[in-house]
A and B are shown apart, each in its own frame.
Chain A
Amino acid sequence: MKVSPIRNEQDYDNALKRMSDLLGKADRASKDEAEVLQALTEKWERANHDLPPPSPLEAIRFRMKQQGLEPRDLVPMIGPRSRVSEILKGRRSLTLDMIRALHRDLGIPLKSLVGEDEDASNAVPKLSKAAREGLAAFGIMKEREGYAAFRMRAFDGGPPSAYLRKTRTLRTNAKTDTGALEAWCAAVLLKAESIKLPKKRSAPYAEFGPTLARLSAAPNGPTLVAGALAGVGIIFVALRHLPGTYLDGAALCRSDGTPIIALTIRHDRIDNFWFTLLHEYCHACHHLNGETNAILDDLEVKSVASEDDIEQQADTFAQNALLPQSLSAKLVDPELTPEDIEAIAEQAGVHPAIVAGRWQREHADYRRFSKMLGRGEVSALLFIENDD
């Protein structure tokens, strides 16, 4: 008889099956093996499959249901009928005496009656009205599904903190609404769950960056991105940002580890779309791993080299993929004409908006060439398709 450590879900499932076979057997060896397997499986579960606790009200209602109790049966523990009614409607909190009585008489765990300690990372954040409306507009929430249930579904049944603690959010705005940010991540993860990748595909590789950039030259370039990324094993999701998130894009891992690139099209310009895409592509190739499963970016926030070199690396990767250094050197000329911009773009094989946008940044002049940036064109292509 072999007993092995549990290192993955397969080991865990096998251990549970073995336990099923052993429980009910009366011999000592079976009981001992079951005890060891129990210890191993419980350790794995606590590390990997955290179950959120019930609220005090949920705990009381469940016990009432199991014992076939009516509200009047709670009178000895809670007090008059009116008070029982208030408690069951969530209008009044339990007192210490009520908690003691409910635990003693009904056996409801004290932990459930006291409720979870205010661990902000696991508490369901209150979404702003605007964020709630934005989330509903995505059409990802089920009918009559509350935000808490939606959030739980997105984060694999466990507390979002287990997922989000591996998130890098250094490059986010100080005013960011973290509740809305979490809701947006949840929506991306759920949307990604329904996307299937082709069986024949490669792993993401850096050299694919310039190929991806050249898709921008096509009039419908943004609509070609999902297919191109699927070929290198990446899921592409375009999802509008939620109010308060100040987010351009993100690189995340789906529950099965598949990389996701999600863009918000917040600035809705062709140059911004392709730069953010290539920036996140660099993260997906180089920076997502067991330690970091989500990188969220507001690209208006300047990265600081000393503490944030992966952001600098991704910026440089995107710049070079979109425009080789030999061509970007031509942008130092302050007197370039629209025809010059188009010629450089043609040489690079990319959309002129990318060259125009780079020139604007180099010269801090955001008026010139502004009509070449393709404002509104990306969302028109991506979100109208999505809406259909």
Chain B
Amino acid sequence: MDSTPFRFRQDIVTVLGHICLSGRPGYENLMLVSGRIRLIRLLRGALGDLAADLRAFAAELEEAEWTSEKAALKAYPHAEVDAHRLTIPFDEQHCVVVAVDYQSGIALIEFAGLKADRLRNPLRRGARS
């Protein structure tokens, strides 16, 4: 297999996108999820309720059909919205931050961990230029 990185081109994007997406039944509606590693990293040290919540959240996100911020907030009424990011509280200490593009149907798990850690790290608050 040729390992040379290929140049980003519109036609390749379209073809690759269709090949990858068409493997998922009902893919027109379900969110496309990335960043599961952040849940897994938190899961490694998690016990009890937090571990169960992380597994349940991952399963829900796989089945989410968010076409708008309103739909996301309906599922997670306690979530905080900051531009295109949702901060979903899990318990008093932990939260998950998901960046969402409702139009493309993409959800990226940007952060999973202690709320205090997120507040300490400005990059994780989405303060990107």
Are A39's CB and B21's CB within 8 A? yes
Are A24's CB and B77's CB within 8 A? no
Contacts of A63 in B (CB 8 A): 56, 60
Min distance, Cβ B41 to any Cβ of chain A, angstroms: 7
Are B77's CB and A35's CB within 8 A? no
Are A51's CB and B77's CB within 8 A? no
Are A19's CB and B34's CB within 8 A? yes
**In the complex where A31-B103, A157-B40, A157-B44 touch, is A38 in contact with B63 (Cβ < 8 A)?**
no
**In the complex where A19-B108, A23-B106, A35-B17 touch, is A45 in contact with B37 (Cβ < 8 A)?**
yes
Closest partner residue, chain B, to A60 (CB atom): B56
Q: How many residues of B contact A (CB 8 A)?
A: 55
Task: Report the contact-size class of chain A (Cβ under 8 Å from the partner).
Answer: 35 or more
Contacts of B84 in A (CB 8 A): 23-24
Contacts of B3 in A (CB 8 A): 5, 7
Contacts of B5 in A (CB 8 A): 2-5
Interface centre among B14, B39, B43 (most CB of A within 10 A): B43
Are B75's CB and A153's CB within 8 A? no
User: A51 vs B48: C-alpha distance in the bound complex, in angstroms?
Assistant: 16
B47 beta carbon closer than 8 Å to chain A? yes
User: A20 vs B34: C-alpha distance in the bound complex, in angstroms?
Assistant: 10
A194 beta carbon closer than 8 Å to chain B? no
Contacts of B75 in A (CB 8 A): 66, 107
**In the complex where A3-B8, A34-B104, A39-B16 touch, is A149 in contact with B59 (Cβ < 8 A)?**
no
Surface stretch bound by B, among A85-93, A108-116, A267-275, A317-325: A108-116
User: A33 vs B6: C-alpha distance in the bound complex, in angstroms?
Assistant: 13
Closest partner residue, chain A, to B63 (CB atom): A109
A52 beta carbon closer than 8 Å to chain B? yes
Are B40's CB and A51's CB within 8 A? yes
Contacts of A166 in B (CB 8 A): none
User: A79 vs B14: C-alpha distance in the bound complex, in angstroms?
Assistant: 49
Closest partner residue, chain B, to A56 (CB atom): B56
**Which listed residue, A21, A32, A39, A59, touches B10 by the CB 8 Å rule?**
A32
Are A20's CB and B36's CB within 8 A? no
Query: Contact string, A1-20, partner B, CB cutoff 8 A, digits 1/0?
Result: 11111010000100010011
**Which listed residue, A4, A16, A36, A59, touches B59 by the CB 8 Å rule?**
A59
A144 beta carbon closer than 8 Å to chain B? yes
User: A24 vs B69: C-alpha distance in the bound complex, in angstroms?
Assistant: 13
Min distance, Cβ B88 to any Cβ of chain A, angstroms: 8
Query: Contact string, A354-367, partner B, CB cutoff 8 A, digits 1/0?
Result: 00000000000000
User: A36 vs B17: C-alpha distance in the bound complex, in angstroms?
Assistant: 6
Are B53's CB and A65's CB within 8 A? yes
**Which listed residue, B77, B99, B101, touches A67 by the CB 8 Å rule?**
B77
User: A144 vs B51: C-alpha distance in the bound complex, in angstroms?
Assistant: 13
Contacts of A68 in B (CB 8 A): 77-78
Are B46's CB and A23's CB within 8 A? no
**In the complex where A1-B8, A32-B13 touch, is A20 in contact with B128 (Cβ < 8 A)?**
yes
Contacts of B21 in A (CB 8 A): 39
Closest partner residue, chain B, to A2 (CB atom): B5
Query: Contact string, A73-113, partner B, CB cutoff 8 A, digits 1/0?
Result: 00000000000000000000000000000000001110110
User: A28 vs B9: C-alpha distance in the bound complex, in angstroms?
Assistant: 12
**In the complex where A23-B100, A51-B39 touch, is A144 in contact with B56 (Cβ < 8 A)?**
no
User: A156 vs B45: C-alpha distance in the bound complex, in angstroms?
Assistant: 10
Query: Contact string, A132-153, partner B, CB cutoff 8 A, digits 1/0?
Result: 0000000000101110010011
Contacts of A55 in B (CB 8 A): 52
Contacts of A112 in B (CB 8 A): 56, 59-60
20 contacts between A and B (CB under 8 A): A19-B34, A20-B128, A23-B101, A24-B83, A24-B101, A31-B103, A33-B13, A34-B101, A39-B21, A41-B35, A43-B20, A45-B36, A52-B55, A53-B59, A54-B52, A58-B53, A62-B56, A62-B57, A63-B56, A156-B40
